[in-house]
Structure 1
Amino acid sequence: MESGVGSSSNLAFLGTYKCKGQLFVISIFSGCSLEDIFLSLSSKYEEINPLSMSLQYLAPQHKMYVTLNDNDDVRNMIHLHMCMKLSVIELRAELKDQIRGGFNMERDYGVELEYRKVWKGKELAMHDIYGTEKDCYDKLRCGFATGCRPMIFLDDTHIKNKYKGSILVAVGKEANDDLFTLAYSVVDAENDCNWEWFCINLRSVLLSQHISGFENFTFFSDRHFGIIKAVNLLFSGSHHAYCLRHLVDNFVKQVMRSYPLHNKKHWSSVFKKAAYAPSHQEFMQHINNISESMPLARKFITNSEPESWANALFRGKRWGVMNNNMAESWNNWVKPARYLPIVGMVDRIRVQIMNIMHQRRETTLAMVQELSPKKEKTLTSTYIESRNLIVHRSCGSKFDVVDGDKSFAVYLCSSPYPN
């Protein structure tokens, strides 16, 4: 009898364990945990103790045993056997003290391994599971061109090690609205020269994916002058959207400090309403309210280029995105790496990117619906909300949509505005 591990609805492998001349067989399903495998083995062989023992599996290509430390290692093991179309996973159990002591190969097989050979074996195993570094970076370019909307978030984050510096990053948004790392680079500081150099290389990467122009692209930033200058110079025809959160912070610091009796929370809210307003009329209504209450605000608003942050004036596509949160999420995602020396830092980020790409690939292979999970949820929510709208057809693909006391012209096939 075989003992099962995991859900019976997933792909199954046979796990074999030899001990004292006996062969024990269990079923291992994709999605199972390390604890599941331990429980299944201990039910067949009582001497298996997860507190004092560690499980290992035989890596099929290099014939070396790899220790299963956590559930990520189990997923890697299953993925490796799945890719190589193998149905049997050879397991063994070792006392944890023996594994920590090292030189198992010398003790068990009489073979002494040099550090260089062990390191090379580890690199080969990483390549078998995740692919080579070159392939992974090439897939980032291809993945952005084929799986992401044409919007790029630009930002910098400070390095926290002894010699400081900055990381410049370009991030996209993939089909499930999660961050997609397109490019990053270590520089001595965030300045105009480094942003121009970074964008020159970014432009080269995008053009290598047969992108003929940037008219459909939208770049998001915190309004750093170096980014504004580089985008205008190198991505002609593209649209540049400014982060609303940074703009509101500047509004509070530069304008509202002159009006200490005004409620910051209230007027920040009015400023945001102006940014989100779908029509020019509604936008001007909120702006006039601000200007009448705080005359100094009019100059700030004019100089802030509202065509780059107000929905009613923005001529490109921003897909409902108003802030540069995606780049800031990336900065937080790599925060532990920013404290490492430069080589370790860059390699740590590389491995993080490989891991997340691998996890998303597995998740995508298991999907059954047409759209990504977040988009399915958004579509359902939008459909429910839209049932309260009243729709009148004008002509062809033009509709008049009534929402309460407001009416909007909607063009389904194309925009009525020229690019």
Structure 2
Amino acid sequence: MIHRTNPGSIAIVQSQLVPVNIDDGEIVKAPRMQPQFKRIFICYEGVKNGFLAGCRPFFGLDGCHLKGPYKGIFLVVVGVDANLHFYPLAYAIVEAKNTDSWSWFLELLRGEIRDTASGQPWCIMSDRQKGLIEAVAAIPEAEHRYCCFHIENNMIKKFGTSTKGFVLGSS
């Protein structure tokens, strides 16, 4: 439906074969295999073109756990437009936050956005999630930066103090 209603868009569904147990009294020599959903990646053509035409060569990556009957991780890449508003570019649902999932997501994203028109490297911001540092390091033309909010929260957890109210250069 995405391809039909949004020509040029990409929607990739990945599945894996899993054994299905048949318990109807038969003796089963080999389990029957059935496809099971593993991942999906979606990037709309109009959104991609708008991002490439009017956004900075900067985007943030994040993921969150899905609650409810269908578990998984929701991954998203978000840019910043000329009005300093968030610009969601692509998203995916994957099985786990790990290097394999992040690498798959970033490989498909790179296939869509390629290099910047200005020749500048992509600047990617993240909160240093599991597997993400390794996946971003595999992109040679990208600069990886970390979110200050998450760095501050990690400092508070580790050292039990806050930097709120601290001004650089003040005595």
Instruction: Provide the TM-score with structure 2 as the length reference.
Output: 0.68
What amino acid does structure 2 have at the position aligned with 1:173? Answer: V
Query: Counterpart in 2 of 1:142?
Result: 49
On the 8 A contact 2:77/2:89 being kept in 1, the answer is: yes
Q: Are 2:159 and 1:247 aligned?
A: no
- Work out the CA distance in 1 between the residues paired with 2:57 and 2:133: 18
Output the amino acid matched with 1:134. Answer: P
- Counterpart in 1 of 2:75? 168
Q: Which residue of 2 aligns with 1:157?
A: 64
Cα deviation for residue 251 of structure 1 reads: 0.5
Structure 1 counterpart of 2:134, from 197, 215, 229: 229
Residue 198 of structure 1 pairs with residue 105 of structure 2: yes
Shift, 1:142, TM fit: 1.1
Distance 1:158 1:214, change over 3 A: farther
How many Å separate the matches in 1 of 2:164 and 2:119? 33
Q: Which runs of 5+ in 1 are unaligned?
A: 1-122, 124-130, 257-263, 275-281, 290-419
1:219 paired to 2:124: yes
What corresponds to 1:189 in structure 2?
Answer: 96
The answer to which structure has the higher helix fraction is: 1
**Contact 2:77 2:88 survives alignment (8 Å):** yes
Structure with the higher strand share, 1 or 2: 2
- Larger relative contact order (Cα-Cα within 8 Å, sequence gap ≥ 6): 2
Identity %: 33
Higher Rg of the two aligned structures: 1
CA shift digits 1:99-119 (9 cap, x unpaired): xxxxxxxxxxxxxxxxxxxxx
Amino acid at match of 1:220: M
Q: 1:232 to 1:143 in 2, by over 3 A?
A: same
Distance 1:217 1:167, change over 3 A: same
Count of aligned pairs: 135
Of residues 229, 233, 238, the one that matches 2:142 is: 238
CA displacement, residues 390-415 of structure 1 (integer Å, 9 cap, x when unaligned) = xxxxxxxxxxxxxxxxxxxxxxxxxx
SS at match of 2:52: helix
Q: TM-score, normalised by structure 1?
A: 0.30
Deviation at 1:239, TM superposition (A): 1.8
Check the 8 A contact 2:97/2:129 in 1, yes or no. Answer: no
**How much does 1:132 deviate?**
2.2
Tell me, yes or no, if the aligned pair for 1:154 and 1:168 is still in contact at 8 Å: yes
State the SS of the aligned residue for 1:134: coil
**Number of the residue aligned with 1:71:** none
Deviation at 1:254, TM superposition (A): 0.6
Q: Which residue of 1 aligns with 2:15?
A: none
Structure 1 residues 203 and 139, CA gap change in structure 2 (3 angstroms)? same
Q: Deviations over 1:311-358 (max 9, x none)?
A: xxxxxxxxxxxxxxxxxxxxxxxxxxxxxxxxxxxxxxxxxxxxxxxx
The correspondence of residues 64-75 of structure 1 with structure 2, limited to 5 A, is none
Equivalent pair of 2:78/2:87 in contact (CA under 8 Å): yes
* 1:149 match: secondary structure: coil
Partners of 1:214 and 1:237 within 8 A in 2:
no
Shift of 1:201: 0.7
Question: Using a 3 Å threshold, how does the CA distance of structure 1 residues 237 and 245 change in structure 2: closer, same or farther?
Answer: same
Q: Partner of 1:386 in structure 2? A: none
Q: Report the Cα offset of residue 255 of structure 1.
A: 1.5
After TM superposition, give the deviation of residue 248 of structure 1 in Å: 0.8
